[in-house]
Amino acid sequence: MNSSKPRMAPMESLDKIGDNLNPEVHFDQKTGSLSIRGQSIPLNVDAFFVEVIGWLEQYQEHPHNPTNLEIDLKYLNGQSIRTLLAILTKMKKINDGGSAVNVNWTIPDGADDLLDLREELLGNFNLHHKIQSN
């Protein structure tokens, strides 16, 4: 009797084009490459990120190993920080489930507030991470 999990069909990639208020989002289940770039100051954070969080909930059921999350946000507001916490929580669940997660976070030169935020967020999740500045 074969007790392995049934193989699921690959998920569709999630691609959201960024603008002055919303980040660009590209999540690819086939490669485990997830990226969030730009600015995150949406007028309605919940409306913008509902699809992102839903995609991640499905992804965490059958994650790619490894999963590489790239965060390159020049600016984010308080509500976006809350959403970033939700994303990192899902990454921790994936990592704790046995699939490696790597977080690469790019911070603008001189953005000490983002560096402090990064230290607070990632320090609580114990995820493999690399910080770089641009």
Q: What is the CATH number of the domain that holds 80?
A: 3.30.750
**Residues in the chain where the model's pLDDT stays below 70:** 1-10
Residue 120 lies in a domain: yes
Tokens in use for 131? 């910080």
Structure confidence at residue 1 (pLDDT): 45
| 20: containing domain | 14-133
Structure confidence at residue 60 (pLDDT): 95
Q: Which helix (H) or strand (E) holds 26?
A: strand 24-28
Cis previous bond, 42, omega within 30: no
Structure confidence at residue 8 (pLDDT): 53
Structure confidence at residue 2 (pLDDT): 44
Structure confidence at residue 109 (pLDDT): 80
